[in-house]
Structures are given as structure tokens and as C-alpha cells.
């Protein structure tokens, strides 16, 4: 079963409407596909939120008007306004639930990506494989990615600011190749993972600490950036500000 197959049956799966064999196939796929697990979790979260939206009972006057609809009646402007108010309240409640679900899904997805980039950084450190190409020259590192990616990562020379470029690495995220640019501050490597952003709007910076590493995320000019290092927070902030300019 593929991701598109799961997307096609995701609602039926969440409602328990699939047969045992097809549901088992979905579960097998979810065991190996983080993106689909996140989609299923988001749908389940949305369902729970919608079920918690308050139920608004129609006023007695509206019930009477509906019951009398078997014969032509003239709905007064006041009654029409009351019905519109009830409908608007229900609509706003549902809209709030959907926005909350989307916000929770975005937060969960961001956390998952943050954990992935930290894991990639740790693997590079433990395997002593920080570089595929080792160079302090941005005009060497940037062209190295040309035949390996379907985008061109921005590569900056920050050596004058105390953050020299030392190389680059081809990494993978969500099944696609991405760029990992490696900078240095004294003995502290800084991995900057770069790929095209799904949402091209400029997003506020996201800062967190995972497994003792500082992680910063931001978007700029259609690219998503994730910086990971054991460098102290103050100096990593300086690095990110320099790279974001």
C-alpha cells in the first residue's frame, strides 16, 4: 500500500469502516511511513476536537416556525436574524475547532522534523561523517550540490564573523535529498539543513533544545532552514542572525 492509497482510505480507516485485510495493510504502511502516521494522527485529533464543539439547540420559536413550514408562512426579519445568529455561532465554533486542529498538526509536524534533524546531526557526529565535500570555499560547496538536488541551496561565507564554512553533506528528509551545510565555531560543528519550504511565507523562528542540542528553524526566500549544534544558545543565535541576512 502506498501513501496515495492511505490518503484515499484515511477517513474510512479512522472511522473503522475498512475490512480487516485492508485495515491491516494500512497499519503495515503506517509502521514504516512517518508522514502517513502524522496524517492519521491529525485526522484523529481533528475528529476529537469537532466532537467537543458545543451543541447549540434551536430556540423554541425557531422550532415552531419549522414545524409550521407545512403551510406558507412569512418569516419575520427578527426570526430570520435569530436563525442566522444561531447558524453563525455553530459555524464559528466549527471554524475554531478546525483552526485549533491545524495548529496542533503543524506543531506536531514541526516537532517531528526537529527530532529528525537532530538525529541526522547525531548520526553524522557518531559516524565521523560530517562531510561529503570538505571545503571552506562557498564556490566549491554550492556547485557540488548541483547534480544531486532539484534546488540550489544558499551557501554563505560567514568566516569574517567567526563561523567558517567547512563543508557540505547530502542528507535525506521525508524521502527526498536535502542539503546539509556544515559550519564551525571553535570545536563546535553547526549543521544547517536546507530544503524548499512547503509554506513559502516567512515563518517566525522556532527555537528549542533536544537531547542537549540547540535547534533553530526559520524560513527565508522559499527555503526552510534548520540549524543544529551543541554550541551555546547565544552564539548560535548570532550565527542564525548572520545566516538569515
Q: Give the mean model confidence (pLDDT) for residues 50-64.
A: 65
Residue 202 confidence (pLDDT) above 80: no
Tell me if 42 is assigned to some domain. Answer: yes
Tell me if 121 is assigned to some domain. Answer: no
Is the same domain home to 137 and 219? yes
Residue 193 confidence (pLDDT) above 60: yes
Taking the model in full, what pTM does it have?
A: 0.58
**Predicted confidence band at 98 (pLDDT cuts at 50, 70, 90)?**
low
The string of pLDDT tens digits covering residues 115-170 is 999 999 998 888 778 889 999 999 999 999 999 999 999 999 999 999 999 999 99
Q: Residue 238: which domain range?
A: 130-244
C-alpha 198, offset from chain centre: 8
Tell me if 153 is assigned to some domain. Answer: yes
Give the range among 82-86, 106-110, 129-133 with minimum mean pLDDT.
82-86
Is the same domain home to 58 and 142? no
Is the same domain home to 134 and 240? yes
The string of pLDDT tens digits covering residues 20-41 is 778 878 888 878 888 878 878 7
The string of pLDDT tens digits covering residues 208-226 is 999 899 999 999 888 999 9
- Higher pLDDT, residue 177 or 88: 177
How many domains is the chain built from? 2
Residue 5 confidence (pLDDT) above 90: no
**Predicted confidence band at 68 (pLDDT cuts at 50, 70, 90)?**
low
Average pLDDT, the chain: 82
Is the same domain home to 99 and 134? no
Q: Is the distance from CB of 62 to CB of 201 less than 8 angstroms?
A: no
Q: What is the residue-wise DSSP string for the chain?
A: --HHHHHHHHHHHHTT-S-HHHHHHHHHHHHH-HHHHHHHHHHHHHHHHHHTSPP-PPPHHHHHHHHGGGS-----HHHHHHHHHHHHHHHHHHHHHHHHHHHHHHHHHHHHHHHHHHHHHHHHHHTT---SEE-S-HHHHHHHTTTT-SS------BGGGTB-EEEEEEEEETTEEEEEEEEEETTEEEEEEEEE-SS-SPPPPEEEEETTEEEEEEEETTEEEEEEESS-HHHHHHHHHHHH-
Residue 189 half-sphere exposure toward CB, CA atoms < 13 A:
21
Amino acid at each position: 500500500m502506498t501513501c496515495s492509497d492511505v490518503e484515499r482510505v484515511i477517513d474510512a480507516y479512522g472511522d473503522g469502516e475498512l475490512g480487516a485485510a485492508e485495515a491491516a495493510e494500512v497499519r503495515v504502511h503506517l509502521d514504516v511511513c512517518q508522514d502517513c502516521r502524522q496524517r492519521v494522527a491529525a485526522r484523529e485529533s481533528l475528529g476529537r476536537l469537532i466532537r467537543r464543539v458545543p451543541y447549540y439547540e434551536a430556540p423554541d420559536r425557531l422550532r415552531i416556525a419549522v414545524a409550521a413550514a407545512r403551510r406558507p408562512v412569512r418569516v419575520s426579519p427578527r426570526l430570520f436574524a435569530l436563525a442566522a445568529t444561531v447558524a453563525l455561532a455553530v459555524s464559528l465554533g466549527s471554524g475554531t475547532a478546525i483552526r485549533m486542529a491545524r495548529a496542533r498538526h503543524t506543531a506536531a509536524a514541526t516537532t517531528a522534523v526537529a527530532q529528525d534533524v537532530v538525529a541526522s546531526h547525531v548520526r553524522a557526529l557518531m559516524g565521523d561523517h560530517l562531510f561529503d565535500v570538505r571545503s571552506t570555499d562557498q564556490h566549491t560547496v554550492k556547485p557540488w550540490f548541483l547534480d544531486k538536488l532539484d534546488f540550489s541551496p544558499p551557501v554563505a561565507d560567514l568566516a569574517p564573523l567567526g563561523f567558517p564554512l567547512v563543508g557540505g553533506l547530502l542528507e535525506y528528509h521525508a524521502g527526498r535529498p536535502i542539503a546539509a551545510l556544515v559550519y564551525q565555531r571553535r570545536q563546535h560543528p553547526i549543521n544547517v539543513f536546507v530544503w524548499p519550504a512547503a509554506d513559502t511565507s516567512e515563518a517566525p523562528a522556532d527555537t528549542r533544545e533536544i537531547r542537549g542540542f540547540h535547534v533553530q528553524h526559520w524560513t527565508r526566500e522559499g527555503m526552510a532552514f534548520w540549524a543544529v549544534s551543541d554550541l551555546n544558545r547565544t552564539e548560535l543565535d548570532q550565527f542564525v542572525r548572520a545566516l538569515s541576512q
